[in-house]
Amino acid sequence: MSVQSPQAGGGGAELPAPADPGLLRPGGPMNNDSCVPAPAGQGADEDDDGPAEKEREKLPPIRPAAGSAAGGLERGAKTQFSTFSNFLTTINQKKEVTESSSSPTQPVMPNIKNVRELPPICLDVRQKQRISIETLPQELKAPVPPEPSLPIRTKTVKDFQEDMEKAKSSGDWKAVLDFYSTTFDSFLEINAAFKKDANAPFDTIEDSGISAKFVNVVYDALLNTPQDVQKSVLKGIINGLLQEWKGSRTKDDLRAYFILLQNPQFSNTSTYVIYAHLLRQTAALAEADHHFLVHWFKKISQKRFKQLMDRLLQFISLRLFPAKPEEFPPMIKCTWWIPSATKVLSLFNAANSLASPPIISYTDFYNSTLDHIDLMEEYHNWQCYGNSHRFSFCQYPFIISIAAKKVIIQRDSEQQMISIARQSLVDKVSRRQKPDMNMLFLNVKVRRTHLVSDSLDELTRKTADLKKKLKVTFVGEAGLDMGGLTKEWFLLLIRQIFHPDYGMFTYHKDSHCHWFSSFKCENYSEFRLVGALMGLAVYNSITLDIRFPPCCYKKLLSPPIVPCDQNTPVGICDVTLNDLYQIMPELAHGLSELLSYEGNVEEDFYSTFQVFQEEFGAIKSYNLKPNGDKVPVTNQNRKEYVQFYVDFLLNKSIYKQFAAFYYGFHSVCDSYALMLLRPEEVEILVCGSPELDMHALQKSTQYEGYQKTDLTIRYFWEVVLGFPLDLQKKLLHFTTGSDRVPVGGMADLNFKISKCETSTNWLPVAHTCFNQLCLPPYKNKKELKQKLTIGISNAEGFGLE
């Protein structure tokens, strides 16, 4: 899908003035002028109706400035591939333009001299921080507009709860109605009710100054009040949103937005027009204001944070695929709904990234509804228009699921494969040479006895063919590669390269992962081969059994696109003690103890900024900083020492090895689609998931010659479900060529069990290229378990030798 902002002067879904209470009457039809659906659940109240004003005060749509990223929605001319504007710098540039220009193409609102345009809030994706804010100042020193004086409101949480109890018991809701009507009548009243101290400025980003407990109690009670109470809250919100903007927003305004976004009424689709305008105004705030909101969001409890995030995801999903289209204005009148909601959602993603540990998993931000839109159109819009002039979900990849990203990468890979193959064919024909089908593939011929050297030679000689479809042939074997030989080639090659005796990688037993050997050598081509193998696996949708720590994938995306300048360092990223914990937990624990040591570090440890490593039996020393051997580690500089030490181990000591690995991977996977991925998602694409769900496999299995109720099949699943994990993995490897689960889960394996009309003395047979198990009709469970165990435990090669 593509979403564009309304043209200047176009009729968006506008927010009605609250002069006509009928606009919010539950159960009534949607007002055509305002496009506000009435909330459901209450009958018409004729007594409340007054004559509708002919000229309602309305909130006009924000018009994008020419050439700006005003929401990133309009199509514009494209001279080169646009990069995304950095969140921390772009808004300042936009503000300068706004302040110095009075162009008629700027946002126009009545009686407003200075109106800020809708800013993009995504970071440069090449930094691989998915719509997050990496570092924020503890205090923002920008000039703060003076706060207007607040009304005096003395009601406490206890007073409100007593009013609620009295109303429930007596049926008289007047006191509660008065409280809600007054509190939500304006931004000032909201602050007066919920601010901890009406006279305190609360200008820090760490403290919103809001009584979170009071807000939660008021909102928890709201949905249990009569409809006229709930209607009064919505009227008040409209009043607040319709107030004119007069220059910069105050911190009290931000507090009002912060509170209003938590309103549970916005889960109801009948309130979506109001919610959309609230989201639009929140998205249009300045960079400094967003900083405050992000830090305030991260203080919300996990439960409520998840509710707010789910509400935004639901809003986007229902706008894309409404259950009742008549509930909403036509899409052409509210094209800004989805971009605004997505921008606000990115603030929650930023807050989640800043929290340590994250409040919720990054996967909770996935919107599976996007799996059903035209993803390639989104991807091409993003490629062509970058972060300006046109909205694309690819600008906010945190919302796109790993399954959807896999589809984008696969289709992008297929298009590259077709393009390369077509060019080879054209070149052949232009030279008047006879076309050969083999020219359309990357053909790799290897001997099992010389697997690594043959593979390295083949890939080195055929660099120009790396983006063609891969086909593997084992010399001296009759296997035809329909996918199974390719899977086995990957498996055997990875197993041999990562063997400790090979010396390329070190296996750390405590963390159960491999890391690059720091031993210096003259040729790092084999590291490039491993990188190319990983790239080919992603490119050809093969999962590999590789156990790298998460830090490896973070380095692999630093940067996600190979820089044009070959002198630019690659594979270097910010590393912390937590990264070292994932590889060398004992060493990381020792360094952590050093940081918390209460004695005299210099006298008790007697260490300097120098480290020692054993290489081929010899001890070598390395300075962590110039003249590090002469700089003692003290209580004052120990943090610096630990940071330098971690950086040395994970970046500097293995730079040449990892750079070769990096270039090998990107020689195959040089797609811009990589910019959409988090390091964790790259790991899943490369390795799949190690967690097996054999019950899910049982549900998705197809049968040929058998019925799922047949005795042999029932025996099979009883045996398999009773297997220990290692035998279950061997079964998966025996039938599919890999013991890992692909991104889409067990269902994506398309696992099939076929009846093999042979003697029951035979072992089961597998066709790994089709993920198919050929199972003879064994007579009893004991025989099936014995033959199956022998078969899956001795599975390598094609045919018997």
Please give the torsion angle defined by the CA atoms of residues 382, 383, 387 and 390, in that order, rounded to the nearest 10 degrees: -50
Residue 240 tokens, joined: 């607040």
SS3 for 127-142 is HCCCCCCCCCCCCCCC
Task: Find out whether 471 and 483 touch, Cβ atoms under 8 Å.
Answer: no
The set of residues, in sequence order, having a beta carbon less than 8 Å from that of 262 and lying 6+ positions away, is 215, 219, 300, 304, 308
Quote the CA–CA distance of 380 and 392 in Å, as a whole number.
9
First to last CA, the chain: 55
SS (H, E, C) 340-385: HHHHHHHHHHHHHHHCCCCCCCHHHHCCHHHHHCCHHHHHHHHHHH
Tell me the two tokens of residue 789.
């165990």
769 is catalytic: yes
Residue 433: count of CB within 10 angstroms of its CB: 10
Question: Could you check whether the bond before residue 119 is cis, i.e. omega within 30 degrees of 0?
Answer: no
Q: What is the CA radius of gyration of the chain?
A: 31
d(Cα 529, Cα 521) in Å, to the nearest integer? Answer: 15
**Alpha carbons 23 and 27: distance in angstroms, whole number:** 11
* Catalytic residue chosen out of the listed positions 122, 334, 769, 774: 769
Q: Which residues of 390-407 are buried (b: 16+ CB within 10 A; e: fewer)?
A: bbbbbbbbbbbbbbbbbb
736 Cβ contact partners less than 8 Å away, ≥ 6 residues apart: 487, 749, 751, 768, 771
Q: What is the DSSP letter of 511?
A: T
- The secondary structure of residue 265, as a DSSP letter, is G
Strand partners, 195: 210
Backbone angles phi, psi at 59, to 5 degrees: -90, 110
Interior/surface letters 68-95, b for 16+ CB within 10 angstroms, e for the rest: bbbbbbbebeeeeebebbbbeebbeebb
Residues identified as active-site: 769
